[in-house]
Each structure stands twice: as C-alpha cells, then as structure tokens.
Amino acid sequence: MLDNDYKIPSHVAIILDGNGRWATKRGLKRSMGHKEGFETLKNISNYIFSKGVKILSVFAFSTENFKRDKEEVDYLMNLFIKNFKKLINKKNDAKIVFSGRRDNLSKEILDAIEETEEKTKNNKSHIFNICFNYGGRADIIDATKKIVDDCQKGKLDINNLTEDVYTQYLYNGIPDIDLLIRTSGEVRISNFMLYQAAYAEMYFPSTLFPDFSNDDFDLALDVYNKRNRRFGGINYEKKNN
Ligand code: IPE
Ligand code: IPE
Ligand code: MG
C-alpha cells in the first residue's frame, strides 16, 4: 500500500515483549533474549525514524519488573548501563529522553541515563522516549503532585488545567500515542502510558520482540492505515493521524 494518502503515525509506542520466551524456546537463558532484544531495538528504532515517525516511545523496564529474580534484574541493568549509549545515532538526529522514576536506580544506571540525555539534548528531528522504571499510574500520580505543587505556589490556576496542560506535566510532556504495538501476542498494556494511550490504535503481533523486523513494522503501518480513527465522532472516512 503506497499512495499519497499513506499515513505515517506521528507517535509510535512499542511494548517490547517476548525476550524471555525467545530465549527459552532456543534452550538459552532469558538474559540472552534481552541481549538479542537490545540489538533489535537499535535496528528498529533507526528504521522507524527513517520512515518519518517523529516520536518513538518504548517500554524497556517497568516498575513491576523489579519483582523478577535478582539475577535477571542485574543482567538487565548491566545491559542498559553498557548499551544506552549505542542508541545514540548521529544520522537520525533523535533526542533521547527517559521517562520513569529515578529513585530505586543505581548510580551507574543514573549516570548512563544522564550521559545519554546530555549527548542528545540538542537533537531536533525526533524524540526517542525510553520508558525505564516506568509505570503509567506512577506517571499520572507524579504529574498530579507537580500540578498541586504549582497550584500552591501560584504558578498554575486550577481553572486552567486542561487535558493538554495535564499532558505537559507527564514525564517529558510526551503527547498522545497514534500507534501502540505490543509484540509477543499478549493483549494487554501492562500499565504503559495509560494517559497517552487514550485514543491509540493498538496492534498486537505474535512476533517475539527479538524477531521484530523492519518488514514487521511495515506491516504494522499497513494495519494502521486500514483503521478508521473517529475520536468519538461520526467521520466514517478513512482519516488517520
Ligand atoms: C520484555 O520481555 C522485556 C522486559 C520486560 C524487560 P520479557 O522479559 O517480558 O519476555 P517474556 O514476556 O518473559 O517472554
Ligand atoms: C511489560 O512487559 C513491561 C515491559 C515490556 C518492559 P511484562 O512482560 O513485564 O508484562 P506482563 O507481566 O506480561 O504483564
Ligand atoms: Mg513479558
């Protein structure tokens, strides 16, 4: 499907799921799935930006993922410490930001996060939003606390609190999602970007994340283009984005 009406979603979000199953299926340790998943993330993010997507959000580690065995959590943290920098890519001009709570994280991971943000802060073409130690409810609660604080300080009049203003108080002020993809066949959002997903088109391919290819993303775009986004209205014409 390639015509002038072909719509590229402005904000794509991906719940990167299925790393563990990818490894277990091959008789490998779950950590090998995370390693392979990170390689996939490096490749697919460049491809997605090259298609013209402005914002890419990915769910890399949830607040609830701390419930996993220490060995798996430690492996993941080390993987991120060593590899966040590899997501910096001069060609795509993406500003990398991290959304999530910063408490509960080691100094090494905080340093890796801050270094990556600092190195890309002047990039303008795209935003690469990495949700890390992230929970959608925590995002809403933390925004609400900042709003109450600003009201008490007289910086915000509560009567001026609109949905758009609320968005600006969420982590990094990331706006609504147009296309939300969750790999691995699970059909739930597991506390991901609850506020921003209000009118997202959702797509749940069965592909395990390490196997998610450029062709799989093209297929997701084709599915998105067949959807009719009405936002509660009665416009039956195909009109995305
Ligand atoms: C997603 O893969 C990556 C993280 C949660 C960090 P999983 O580790 O959840 O993989 P499955 O769902 O067990 O296969
Ligand atoms: C959601 O996946 C979190 C990330 C992808 C980082 P999970 O694998 O943790 O979610 P559940 O437990 O299947 O809902
Ligand atoms: Mg999972």
The pLDDT assigned to 237 comes to 59
Residue 183, pLDDT above cutoff 90 = yes
Residues with active-site annotation: 17, 65
**To the nearest whole number, what is the mean pLDDT of the chain?**
95
Burial of 107 (0-12, 13-18, 19+ CB in 10 A): exposed
The model's confidence at residue 238, banded by pLDDT at 50, 70 and 90, is low
Q: Report d(CA 200, CA 180) in Å as an integer.
A: 6
What's the average model confidence in pLDDT over 197-211? Answer: 98
Structure tokens at 105: 């994280």
What's the average model confidence in pLDDT over 206-224? Answer: 98
**For residue 174, how many C-alpha atoms fall within 13 Å in the half-sphere facing its CB?**
34
- The reply to whether ligand 1 has any atom less than 6 angstroms from the CB of 184 is yes
DSSP letter string, 176-226:
--SEEEE-TT----TT-STTTTTT-EEE---S-GGG--HHHHHHHHHHHHH
For residue 190, give the ligand 2 atom closest to its CA: 14
What's the average model confidence in pLDDT over 79-87? Answer: 95
Q: Global pTM? A: 0.96
The model's confidence at residue 103, banded by pLDDT at 50, 70 and 90, is very high
Q: Which of 19, 24, 34, 62 to mutate to test the pocket of ligand 2 (most atoms within 8 A of CB)?
A: 62
What's the average model confidence in pLDDT over 75-102? Answer: 95
The pLDDT assigned to 12 comes to 99
Sign for the pseudo-dihedral over CA of 74, 89, 40, 138: positive
Burial of 152 (0-12, 13-18, 19+ CB in 10 A): exposed
Q: Report d(CA 124, CA 151) in Å as an integer.
A: 31
Residue 204, pLDDT above cutoff 70 = yes
Contact 85, 115 (CB under 8 A): yes
Q: What does the pLDDT look like over 54-64, one tens digit per residue?
A: 999 999 999 99
The pLDDT assigned to 236 comes to 63
Asked which of 4-8, 15-19, 127-131, 173-177 is least confident by mean pLDDT, the reply is 4-8
Q: Report d(CA 177, CA 168) in Å as an integer.
A: 14
Residue labelled with tokens 């297929």: 219
Distance 208 CA to ligand 3 centre (A): 10
What's the average model confidence in pLDDT over 68-94? Answer: 95
What's the average model confidence in pLDDT over 29-52? Answer: 97
- The reply to whether ligand 2 has any atom less than 6 angstroms from the CB of 59 is yes
The pLDDT assigned to 214 comes to 98
The pLDDT assigned to 150 comes to 98
Residue 3, pLDDT above cutoff 80 = no
Distance 48 CA to ligand 1 centre (A): 21
- The reply to whether ligand 2 has any atom less than 6 angstroms from the CB of 62 is yes
- The reply to whether ligand 2 has any atom less than 6 angstroms from the CB of 190 is yes
What's the average model confidence in pLDDT over 85-93? Answer: 91
